[in-house]
Structure 1
Amino acid sequence: MVAIMNRELAMVIIPIFRLVSILLALNGVPLGFLGRASVKLETSLHRQNLRWYSDFLKVVFKGFLAWLPSINRYGKALELNQSEDMTEFPREPIEEYVKQTLGDDEIGAHTYDHIERVLTLALDMAGEMRVNIRVLGASALLHDIGRPFEKQVEKSHSVLSGEMSVEILRNLGYYDSEIDSVIQAIRTHRFSEGLEPVNVEGEILSDADKLDAMGAIGVFRAIAQASVDNRGIEGFLQHAHEKLLRLRDLMYTEIGQQMAQERHKVLEEFVNQLEKEMGLVS
């Protein structure tokens, strides 16, 4: 009689444990011990072991002790997603890492002040948008750190910068999902590679990076880069027509489209005037 009652009770408990295990695992919480507990129950039943209560409790208790770190980590993740931490990010240590990484390799258009402007633009553009500032801020600061090394390793800096960001972000307590989002945003910021952003942080970063290539600042940066590359005025004009004058129509966000209008006008007027003075147009 007792064995029958045990079996009936277990047949109710086992499916419940399996369902809970599946649901929590889908949310990133490892609960393998629940599955092992249900197996222990079934094994005990097949053997008609009347001490299955004891075996079952041992498995659950041991599993629960092993699970405590996961509970803590999962709880922190939930707390982060529901707190104001999403509106802040560890700016100073990331800035220090970027400066140390770039070293003396800041030449042409891609100097550290470009990174600072992209960050400022990105944060301003975020405004009331539903954005993870931890992801956006880190992406903006780290998006060009691989640029000085891309020729050495023959890899796009949009890929290299993401790879170089992983360790510093982990050390600063970023979750894997946030790191993945940073990598994705950095990977798609370079419009010339034709990759579409997969998250809103990527859209904002791409727009901010393009905005800094437009307007008076964009003109200055393009001329500086043309000088470094020994391409002269002709090189600047070629770059302006092939890239800079196309940026206005490639904005992803509404605020980016609005901000691009004035900067495009300044850029266009400068190019037109330069071509007139060079006698390239009447």
Structure 2
Amino acid sequence: MDRFNKILLHHNFKEYLRRIATLEETRVFCKHEMTHFLDVARICYILNLENKANLDKEIIYACSILHDIGRWKEYQEGIDHAIASKGLALDILKDCGFDQREIKLICDAIGHHRTESNHPSNLSEFIYRADKLSRPCNSCNSIDKCNRFENGEIPTINY
């Protein structure tokens, strides 16, 4: 997991996390921080094992910690954070030693992590599902104000 650890230390990654934290300081909803990223990674890895997909653990973890790094661009510039995150992840992945095939797999999954269907890979589908499963919506104090659920029903966990 050497390349994963390089991401954690990458100056751009740390700067993007700082920007997100500043912009979400007063946010009452789920925040986009390392706890969320690692929850997504762990759930995604479990989905990988359960489905016998044989995805590399380091690829899963890299994708998971980068999938929301464009949140600050969504807040400041109105750019969909999946698209922004995909673009921001590209240089970080290159700098940390991922090859072109791995970068394409990871960036495609990041770009589709908000899409419910038509995933280009198992990684994309697993990141989407893990992102949803990682949130403790049933115990959230702000669920009545959250726009994640259009029909107003309290969500259930569906694996």
Partners of 2:4 and 2:58 within 8 A in 1: no
Matching of residue 218 in structure 1 with residue 116 in structure 2: no
Which amino acid counterpart does residue 260 of structure 1 have in structure 2? N
TM-score of the pair, normalised by structure 2:
0.77
Q: Which residue of 2 is the match for residue 173 of structure 1?
A: 97
Q: Which residue of 1 is the match for residue 54 of structure 2?
A: 130
Q: 1:110 aligns with which of 5, 22, 31?
A: 31
Number of equivalenced pairs: 148
Q: Which residue of 2 is the match for residue 187 of structure 1?
A: 111
Distance of 1:130 and 1:153 partners within structure 2: 37
3-state DSSP of counterpart to 1:189: coil
3-state DSSP of counterpart to 1:242: coil
Q: Which residue of 1 is the match for residue 125 of structure 2?
A: 203
Residues 151-170 of structure 1 mapped to structure 2, 5 A cutoff: 151-170=75-94
Unaligned runs of 5+ in 1: 1-87, 227-232, 249-258, 262-282
Cα deviation digits, residues 116-140 of structure 1 (max 9, x gap) = 2111111222224221333322111
Partners of 1:135 and 1:179 within 8 A in 2: no
Distance of 1:243 and 1:205 partners within structure 2: 24
Deviation, structure 1 residue 89: 5.7
3-state DSSP of counterpart to 2:84: helix
Partners of 2:16 and 2:72 within 8 A in 1: no
Deviation, structure 1 residue 204: 0.9
Deviation, structure 1 residue 96: 3.5
3-state DSSP of counterpart to 1:109: coil
Deviation, structure 1 residue 178: 1.1
Q: Which has the higher contact order (CA 8 A, sep 6+)?
A: 2
Distance of 2:99 and 2:148 partners within structure 1: 39
Unaligned runs of 5+ in 2: none
More helix by share: 1
Distance of 1:89 and 1:219 partners within structure 2: 36
Which amino acid counterpart does residue 151 of structure 1 have in structure 2? Y
Matching of residue 100 in structure 1 with residue 15 in structure 2: yes
Shift in alpha-carbon separation, 1:110–1:184, aligned structure 2, 3 A = same
Distance of 2:107 and 2:89 partners within structure 1: 8
Q: Which residue of 2 is the match for residue 6 of structure 1?
A: none
Shift in alpha-carbon separation, 1:150–1:243, aligned structure 2, 3 A = farther
Which amino acid counterpart does residue 111 of structure 1 have in structure 2? H
Larger Rg: 1
Shift in alpha-carbon separation, 1:163–1:129, aligned structure 2, 3 A = same
Distance of 1:162 and 1:241 partners within structure 2: 26
Which amino acid counterpart does residue 109 of structure 1 have in structure 2? C
Cα deviation digits, residues 159-201 of structure 1 (max 9, x gap) = 000100111111111111211111110111113xx55210111
